[in-house]
Amino acid sequence: MTIETVPTAHNPWLTWNATVVSTTPESPGVATYDIVVEDSRVADQFPFRPGQFNMLYVPGIGEAAISISGDPGKQGPLAHTIREAGNVTQALARMGSSAAIGLRGPFGTGWPIDECEGNDVILVAGGIGMAPLRPVVYTMLADRHRFGNITLLMGARTPDGLLYPDEWSNWKSQIDVQQTVDRAEDNWQGHVGVVTSLLERMDIPRPQDTILMTCGPEVMMRYTIRGGLSRDVPKTSCWLSMERNMNCAVGFCGHCQLGPDFVCKDGPVLRYDRVAPFLKVNTL
């Protein structure tokens, strides 16, 4: 692959030279990589919407679709929280800071921020699924008055799998944040159980005026959506971020097809009623 440095918003195949300027360990096998596009003309004009992703290219290895996990309202390095899961992500972990890589994007659809205005919002994240939802938290905190009650439910297998603990206290000063783990440790004082159990216990005073967004393992998202529907949250108010094998990011290769949609182009954020037939979830 040839790496170009021509700023453009129209050619999705161009890969820009980029550098990993810092890495922050988050949990075992997971770290946040701050990446800077070398061409300042591109870096200064790189807006993204919460929920979008970039394609990160490691020379000689390949590309991987990685959600942008930083603040859309701030300029500077682009944060990507990455779990080591394949050749590309393992190579990134070995390379660490100062790694020279390629980047193209942003791609895909974003979370329905504007539709949330005036409504209550429930965010449900499982493990690494918190990464695509963190930009939603940043965006809503920046304009807190636009939204009703905001609840963030976070789940992980163990306490060290819960992402971004250094930010929780700031978040909790403005929204309701709850965490749970599948397996507790001796020093864990929080909830124990799957994250959907938090949703089952919470009060939803305005279900018809509530937007539910979820990201995490697909089985978790299925049960999260079912939990919302059982509490009278409308199907059209439930959103999820899908994960598929996204190779091209523009709906060309077909690897990520889900029914009539291509997750890379029509998603990854999709409304539940659009994908329900393909998730084989029993609607309530």
Are 103 and 210 members of one domain?
no
Are 272 and 150 members of one domain?
yes
Are 141 and 268 members of one domain?
yes
- Of residues 212 and 278, more confidence is placed in 212
Give Rg (Cα) of the chain.
Answer: 18
Give DSSP secondary structure letters for 213-266: EEESSHHHHHHHHHHHHHTT--GGGEEEE-----SSSSSSS-TTEETTEEHHHH
Answer yes or no: is pLDDT of 17 > 70. yes
Q: Given this model, what pLDDT does residue 6 score?
A: 44
Whether 11 is covered by a domain: the verdict is no
Are 229 and 245 members of one domain?
yes
Are 102 and 118 members of one domain?
no
Are 173 and 223 members of one domain?
yes
Whether 255 is covered by a domain: the verdict is yes
Q: 193 in helix, strand or coil? A: coil
Answer yes or no: is pLDDT of 148 > 80. yes
Whether 214 is covered by a domain: the verdict is yes
User: In residues, how long is the chain?
Assistant: 284
Answer yes or no: is pLDDT of 241 > 70. yes
Are 95 and 133 members of one domain?
no
Whether 130 is covered by a domain: the verdict is yes
What's the pLDDT tens digit per position in 65-100?
999 999 999 989 999 999 999 999 999 999 989 999
Q: Given this model, what pLDDT does residue 2 score?
A: 43
* Structure-block tokens of residue 125: 């994240």
Are 181 and 271 members of one domain?
yes
Are 120 and 80 members of one domain?
no
Out of 72, 87, 107, a domain closes at: 107
Q: Given this model, what pLDDT does residue 118 score?
A: 98
> CATH number of the domain that 258 lies in?
3.40.50.80
Whether 203 is covered by a domain: the verdict is yes
Whether 284 is covered by a domain: the verdict is no
Q: Give me the mean pLDDT over the 41-63 stretch.
A: 93
Out of 107, 132, 166, a domain closes at: 107
Are 214 and 247 members of one domain?
yes
Are 227 and 265 members of one domain?
yes
Instruction: Tally the domains of the chain.
Output: 2
- Can you list the positions of beta strands (E) in the chain? 16-27, 30-37, 53-58, 62-67, 78-83, 100-107, 120-126, 150-156, 176-181, 191-192, 210-215, 238-241, 257-258, 261-262, 269-271
Choice among 5-14, 144-153, 255-264, 267-276 with the minimum mean pLDDT = 5-14
The helix (H) or strand (E) run that includes residue 141 is helix 130-142
Whether 54 is covered by a domain: the verdict is yes
Are 130 and 88 members of one domain?
no
- CA 209/CA 246 separation, integer angstroms: 33
Q: Given this model, what pLDDT does residue 1 score?
A: 41
- Of residues 212 and 186, more confidence is placed in 212
What is the b/e burial string over 140-176, where b = at least 16 CB atoms within 10 angstroms of the residue's CB? bbeeeeebeebbbbbbbeebebbbbeeeeeebeeebe
Q: How confident is the model at residue 162 (pLDDT cuts 50, 70, 90)?
A: very high
Q: Give me the mean pLDDT over the 20-37 stretch.
A: 96
Whether 30 is covered by a domain: the verdict is yes
Answer yes or no: is pLDDT of 41 > 90. no
Q: How confident is the model at residue 10 (pLDDT cuts 50, 70, 90)?
A: low
- CA 211/CA 233 separation, integer angstroms: 8
DSSP lists the bridge partners of residue 33 as 23, 80
Average pLDDT of every residue of the chain: 92
Out of 107, 138, 166, a domain closes at: 107
Under 8 Å between Cβ of 241 and 269:
yes
Q: Give me the mean pLDDT over the 150-176 stretch.
A: 97
Structural domain span for residue 125: 114-279
Closest CA to 213 of 240, 176, 243, 235: 240
Q: Given this model, what pLDDT does residue 199 score?
A: 96
CA angle 47, 275, 195 (to 5 degrees): 80
Under 8 Å between Cβ of 56 and 92:
yes
